[in-house]
Structure 1
Amino acid sequence: MNKFWIVFSHTYLSKVKSKSFIVTTAIILALIVLMSNIQSIIGMFDSEEADQVAVVTEQEEVYSQLESRTEADFELDRFDGTLEEAQDAVHDGEYISVLEIRESEEGLPEATYYSRDYTSQMAQNTLENQLQQIKVEMATNQSGIDPAVIASIYEPVHFENELIATGDGEVSDVKTEEELNGARGLVYVILFLLYMAVIMYGNMIAMDIANEKTSRVMEILISSSSPVSQMFAKIFGIGLVGLTQMVLLLGTGYFVIMQKQDELIGGFFEFFGLSDVSISTFIYAIIFFLLGYFLYATLSAMLGSLVSRTEDVQQLMTPVTFLIIAAFMISMVGLSMPESTFVVISSYIPFFSPMVMFLRVGLLDIPFWEVGLSILILIATIVVFAIIGAKIYRGGVLMYGTSTSLKDFKKALQLSKKE
């Protein structure tokens, strides 16, 4: 056990103290702080004066209605000169654009929007929508139609969503809309975290083993400690590295949000829509995240032991990458139809269940035995991979030369029997 802790502490400390870890973490932390204050930073470079749109028109009533309706990041300014003079003022930077409002043959407003480029689309769309509403009201008055009738026509249809009661006259026990929204947000977070953790830290495990084989340190390590102890020491060590990085990132994000409580509505969890998520969903999130990591980490350690050059790691890790990408894509499909047969079957396949079964748990009320069965299958698969992986690991770490084929599994098993 003492040898396990030696390998574990060495793996963890060497990774945490590495320049790549420090620089990567620092950059991500800086981006979190930067993005949280992006509005303040943009405001530092913006002028205090609001952008102005020059309006050339003789339609006093239309202009007054348009001015009273417009509430945006720009202001309307009635221009007393000609259209050409207003366009010259735009070229001089006094205005961002010119709006010319005319009266059509039917006595309704029509307009032309002049600008130097297409960067002021927001102002153009806002003014177009407001003028459209003014035109509808004027056309309604001219035709003698009651404005209340027009309002009732455009009023959204009354549409409710109610659950069908069971035979006992009670509504079935399903998640509320608020719970679904919160759970959907949590599912997104866990899916991306697990995807990134497997890609980043799985490759880190394989690369670490390949580096040790390159330096021939592996021959000394494998003779002084059991393969299972050494393999899991690296898996737990790099797992703790990932946990350290995530705690730093999430802690910084939490601190930034707490500093902006006055700008947010509600607390931390309410801001992200997680206040209505049940405790069991959070527990399942932790369980499936950890099991998913250990499954793919065991595979990564096993494959990493087969290569002796760091250049070959990515090629042999390709199947693992394809598996996690497939699991991620199935989960993305399952977000819109979690009850489909394809998603249900995938939730019991160990390589996909960490993502897909958690997706079903978060969005549906499924029986506990289904979740338990998926967890048991996942744990059994991890145990089997750990046993097989330990044998391949013991023989694989003694293999040198070019090893980029899965056929090297047989050679690794033969070497492990000789030890």
Structure 2
Amino acid sequence: MHNIWLIAKREYLERVRTKSFILTTILIPLLMGGGIVVAVLTQGKPDTNSRIAVVSADQQLALDLQTEIESNKDHHYTVDVISPPDASTRTTLDGELANKQLDAYLWIVPAATPGARPTFSYTPRSDRAYGTREDIKAALRSVLIRERLSHQGMVASDVTSLMQPVQLDTTQAGKNDSSTAAYVTVIILFFLMYFVIMLYGMNVARSIIEEKTSRVFEVLLATITSDEIMAGKMLGVGAVGLTQVFIWLGTALLLTGVAAVQAMAGGQLHLSLNASEIIFFFVFFILGFLLYASIAAALGAMTNSEQELQQLNMVLVLPLAACFFAMGVVVSNPNSAVSVILSLIPFMTPLIMYLRISIVAVPVWQIGLSIALMLASIYAVLWVASRIYRVGILMYGKKPNLPEILRWLKYS
């Protein structure tokens, strides 16, 4: 155990003193924090004022549409009503579009038969103004529904009351934080776990390749075993990852609790974390790191250069990437059969199970089963990796093939 501690201490101290560790520890929180602050500061602020023209022979319809568009809370619109149009209206509007005096115009053609819906022609100055087009479509839907309800004999006040947006109470039992903040926090931790496991898992493999290249292993193996070297490297590199995560989370919690930062963000910038989420984050982070670091150690022992390692890193990346594709399914229905099965697959458990735990109350037996399956998988992978490692670290020059790797597993 003493030898494992010495290797882990050496790996840890070497990495925390590097410029890359210091820069990433400082820059990543700054970049993420700056992005969040900018997003919060710009949230709810209207875009630059856009000028739109509504052309219709039905003046009342055009005026109702004008009111609906200009009442948009997210964007500022100035709507000009042209009713009725004449022969030169379209030419005039096209000229204003060309001169950038107008951003878009909507041409409404009356229905051919009573009770039918009018036809609409939208002409923007730029095809990229997707948001403006969607706002106009939403306004049209509201106006047409109001008009149809009014024709059915409903009083105007009743129509207005019916068309009001529905307000939902999203406060979860036992929580005072908004659901939006909780969801954002979960997503941030999800991506944090993904990047740290992938980054530091690969660092284990790179460390092995560096020492194989310098022949340091030949000296180390004179005094300690290969299993102790592998265990020390995994613990040391894993401790570096945990250190960085602790610093990032601590900085985030401190900054979001500062009154000045909250005042800058209008009180909207905060992380929603409870004790169980933090505990499960570190539990699954450690289990996930051990699993992927074991694989990375075997890959590092099998390869002789960074180029060869790059060819095999898909073994690490693919299971983690699969979690991204499954993320939408899990978030939309975390208790579905698919979500449960995915969260019990050991290579996906750290990310998917943690995501489920953060969103819904997962049954205790599922959490226990996922941890048990992960521990069994870690033991199996470590058994295989240690046998590949003890032979592979002394193999130079030739890249081993699959039959040769299988022979390594039989060596005692």
In the superposition, the TM-score normalised over structure 2's length comes to 0.72
Match of 1:211 in 2: 210
Name the structure 2 match of 1:89: 96
Cα separation, 1, equivalents of 2:178 and 2:197: 26
Which of 119, 126, 146 is the equivalent residue of 1:117? 126
The alignment partner of 2:227 has SS state of helix
Checking the alignment, whether the CA contact within 8 Å between 2:55 and 2:105 is kept in structure 1 is: yes
Determine the structure 1 residue equivalent to 2:306: 310
Q: How does 1:148-159 map to 2 (within 5 A)?
A: 151=159
Cα deviation 1:129-149 (Å, max 9, x = unaligned): 4355445555665x5733479
Decide whether aligned partners of structure 1 residues 74 and 255 sit closer, same or farther in structure 2, where only a CA change above 3 A counts.
Answer: farther
Q: How does 1:19-418 map to 2 (within 5 A)?
A: 20-21=20-21, 28-29=28-29, 31-38=31-38, 50-55=49-54, 61-69=60-68, 70-71=70-71, 72-77=75-80, 83=89, 84-100=91-107, 112-131=121-140, 133-135=142-144, 137=146, 145-147=153-155, 151=159, 188-189=187-188, 191-251=190-250, 253-254=252-253, 257=256, 260-262=261-263, 263=265, 268-269=270-271, 274=272, 279-325=275-321, 333-335=329-331, 350-358=346-354, 361-362=357-358, 363-367=360-364, 371-383=367-379, 385-386=381-382, 389-409=385-405, 412=408
Given residue 93 of structure 1, which amino acid in structure 2 is its aligned partner? K
CA shift for structure 1 position 238: 1.7
Cα distance in 2 for residues equivalent to 1:388 and 1:144: 74
Instruction: Please list the CA deviations of residues 54-77 of structure 1 after superposition, one character each: whole Å capped at 9, or x if unmatched.
Output: 456676545543443322322124
Q: Could you say what secondary structure the match of 1:223 adopts?
A: coil
Identity %: 27
State the match for 2:12 in structure 1: 12
Q: Deviations over 1:136-177 (max 9, x none)?
A: 555665x57334799499779x9x9xxxxxxxxxxxxxx969
CA contact (8 A) 1:211 1:310 kept: no
CA contact 1:312–1:404 (8 Å) conserved in 2: no
The answer (yes or no) to whether the contact 1:62–1:109 under 8 Å persists in 2 is no
**RMSD across aligned positions (CA):** 4.8
- How many angstroms does 1:219 deviate by? 1.1
Provide closer, same or farther for how the CA distance between residues 5 and 378 of structure 1 changes in structure 2, counting only shifts above 3 A.
Answer: same
Shift of 1:40: 8.9
Is 56-65 or 279-288 further displaced after alignment?
A: 56-65
**Which deviates more from structure 2 when the two are superposed, residues 396-405 or residues 371-380?**
371-380
**Amino acid of the residue matched to residue 304 of structure 1?**
G
State the distance in 2 between where 1:48 and 1:358 align: 37
Distance 1:388 1:52 in 2: 67
CA contact (8 A) 2:3 2:224 kept: yes
- CA offset digits 1:196-222 (Å, max 9, x no partner): 333222122112101210111221122
| 8 Å contact kept, 1:210–1:310 | yes
| Distance in 2, Cα, partners of 1:331 & 1:321 | 16
Shift of 1:310: 2.6
TM-score by length of 1: 0.71
Contact map agreement 1:227 1:394 (CA 8 A) in 2: yes
CA distance 1:37–1:412, shift in 2 (3 Å): same
User: Structure 1 pair 132/253, CA: closer, same or farther in 2 (3 Å)?
Assistant: same
Change (3 A) 1:13 1:54: same
Task: Give unmatched runs, 5+ long, in structure 1.
Answer: 161-174
In 2 relative to 1, CA 340–40 (structure 1 residues): closer, same or farther, beyond 3 Å? closer
Q: Is the 8 A contact 2:37 2:269 kept in 1?
A: no
- Residues 177 and 68 (structure 1 numbering): CA distance in 2 closer, same or farther, change over 3 Å? farther
Give the match's secondary structure for 2:128: coil
2:270 aligned partner, one-letter code: F
Aligned partners of 1:49, 1:324: CA distance in 2, in Å? Answer: 41
**What is the number of residues matched between the two proteins?**
391
- d(CA) in 1 for partners of 2:352 and 2:67? 52
Cα distance in 2 for partners of 1:268, 1:335 equals: 21
SS of residue in 2 equivalent to 1:402: coil
Cα separation, 2, equivalents of 1:150 and 1:388 = 71
The amino acid that maps onto 2:153 is I
